[in-house]
Structure 1
Amino acid sequence: MAEELGRIIKPEAEQFKDGRRLFLVPLIFTPFSPPGELQAIVERYWQEALSQIKGLESRIGRVKRVYHEMVALDEESGLSTLESLNTGSHNLVKSIIERGGSLTSIEDSDLLNEFMDWGRCLSTGLYSHKVLTTVLQSYQETQECRNKEMASRLDKSLGVDEIGLLIVTENHRIQFPPDIEVFYVAPPALDEYKRWLRRQEESPKKEKPASQEKPEKGESAKAEKSPEAEPKTGENKSETSKPAKRTRKKKSS
C-alpha cells in the first residue's frame, strides 16, 4: 500500500537519497454552487495537501514532475484545462509549477474521451440488460487500458531519482512500477469531506417516508426516476490494488 502521511513519525532524510518517489494526492470533486460548509472543507483540503507536500519536500526533495488524472496536455495547455476542471487541484499544481515543477500529461486523449463517453452512456439509465452489459464491459475495459497507459507514461517520464506528484481519484487501480516509492498524502480534511458526502447520502433515506404520502384525490402521483450517477473518471467500485512497494506509514508535521 502507499505510505500514509500524518503527524507521528519524522523519517530521516538519509532514508530517501536515491530512487524514484511519487507523492500521491487523492483527487476530490466539488459540485457546481456547493454549500458553504462543503466549500470550506474542500478549500481546507487543498491547503492541507499543499502544506504536507511542502513538508515532504523539505525532507526528501522538490517535486520535479506533476501528473493529474483527466489532463491529457502538458505544461500551460494542461494547466488551462485543469483550471476549468478542478479549481482546488489547479491552484495546488500551479503553486508547484511556480516552484520549479513541470506538468506532464499522464492521459491518452483518445482513451480519456472514450472512457468519459462510456460513463455518460451509463449515467443515462439504460433499460436493456444486454445494452447495459455491453456498455459496462466497454467502460471497464477502457478504464483498464487507461490505467495501463497512465502507468506506462509515469514510468517513461519520471527520471532516475526524481520526485513526482500524482493527483488521482482515491480508488484508482494504477499499478505503479515496482521501483517507485509511493507516499500517500492524507490531509485531515479528507475525512471531513467523506463524512459530509455520507450525510448527504443518508438524508434522502430519512426524508423518504414523508415523500411517500399519498396524493390528494384528483392529484396525479408523481414518480421521480433518478438516473444512475455518472462514474467519476478514474473511479470504480473495486478495491484499490496494492502498489508493489512495501507498506510504511509516515506522518508529516
Structure 2
Amino acid sequence: MAELGKIEKPDAASFKEKRKLYVVPTLPFEEVASQFKIDEAKVERFWGEVRGKIEYFVSTYGDISILYLEGINEEENIGIEFFERFGKDSNHYRLIKSLLDRGIKIKGIEKDEYIELSRLLFEEYSRSFLPEVKELHEGFYGKNVDFDKWREYLVKRIMETQDKMSEHASKTIEETLGETGNGVLIITDGRPIEFPQGTDVFQIRPPSFDDIAKTIRKDYPQ
C-alpha cells in the first residue's frame, strides 16, 4: 500500500519522475452546512486552501491529468455543469473549473452495483433501529427476531461492500493514472482505500478541514 506523503517542503528532485496522487479528504460540507450551522466562510476557506495547495503542487511537479471523484460511476461523463450546484462564485466550483481549464479529465471511481448495494445496506441498517420496523418484523417472523444478529449481518455486508469498492477504486486509479501521471482524488474522510504501488500520495488537509469536521462530529458523533 502506498503511504501518504508530507506536503511540507517536498524535495522536487526526488519526486519529479514518479506518478503522484493528491488526496483531498472531505465531508459533505455544502450539503450539511445549514443543518450544522457551519459558517459558509469556513467552507469557502477550505476549498480556497485546497486550491492553493494544488496550484503549489502543479508549479512544483507539473500538470495534473486526471481528477478522481467518489460517488460517480466510472463510465459517467462529468463536466463543469455538475459542480454549478455549489455556485459559480464558490471556491469549490473555481477549483474544479481551474483544473478543467488545464485540460484534466474527470473520472468516477465507482461501479453502480456497489453504489446501490452500499446505499441499500446503510438504509436497511438505519431502519433497523426504528420501533415501527421492529414491530413489522416481529409481526411476520415472531417475537424471537434477533435484531442484534441482523445488524451484525448488515455491518458484515457493509464492510464487504466497502472492501470491494476500495479494490475497484484502487484498480481504476492504477489503470488510468499512467506511469508518471499526476492526479487529484476527492474522497470522503476516513473511507478506506489502498493506493496503487509506485505512487507518491500527498494528503491535502488544510487546518480549516479539522475546524469544520469538529463542528459536524460534535453534533453527529460517529
Shared fold, TM over 0.5: yes
* Residue matched to 1:4: 6
**Cα displacement string for residues 216-247 of structure 1 (whole angstroms, at most 9, x for unaligned residues):** xxxxxxxxxxxxx9xxxxxxx8xxxxxxxxxx
Identity of aligned residues (%): 25
**Cα displacement string for residues 135-193 of structure 1 (whole angstroms, at most 9, x for unaligned residues):** 22211111110000000001001112100110112212211122011011121201211
Q: Secondary structure at the match of 2:219?
A: helix
Counterparts of 1:1-253 in structure 2 under 5 Å?
1-5=3-7, 9-30=8-29, 31=32, 33-34=34-35, 37-73=38-74, 76-77=77-78, 80=81, 89=92, 91-126=94-129, 127=134, 128-200=147-219
TM-score w.r.t. the length of structure 1 is 0.69
* Structure 1 pair 83–121 and aligned structure 2 pair: CA distance change class (3 A): farther
TM-fit CA distance, 1:36: 5.6
One-letter code of the match for 2:175? Answer: K
- Asked if 2 retains the 8 angstrom alpha-carbon contact of 1:22 and 1:165, the reply is yes
Cα RMSD for the two superposed structures: 2.7
Which is worse superposed, 60-69 or 132-141? 132-141
- Asked if 1 retains the 8 angstrom alpha-carbon contact of 2:36 and 2:219, the reply is no
User: How many residues get paired?
Assistant: 200
Gaps of 5+ in 1: 202-228, 230-236, 238-253
Point out the structure with the larger strand share. 2
One-letter code of the match for 1:161? Answer: T
Gaps of 5+ in 2: 135-146
Q: Secondary structure at the match of 1:160?
A: coil
**Cα displacement string for residues 39-72 of structure 1 (whole angstroms, at most 9, x for unaligned residues):** 2211211111011110111101111110011111
Q: Aligned partners of 2:109 and 2:218: how far apart in 1?
A: 34
User: Hey, which bits of structure 1, 4+ residues long, moved more than 6 A?
Assistant: 85-88
Q: Aligned partners of 2:196 and 2:161: how far apart in 1?
A: 20
- Asked if 2 retains the 8 angstrom alpha-carbon contact of 1:4 and 1:186, the reply is no
TM-fit CA distance, 1:133: 2.0
Q: Aligned partners of 1:74 and 1:82: how far apart in 2?
A: 18
- Asked if 1 retains the 8 angstrom alpha-carbon contact of 2:26 and 2:209, the reply is no
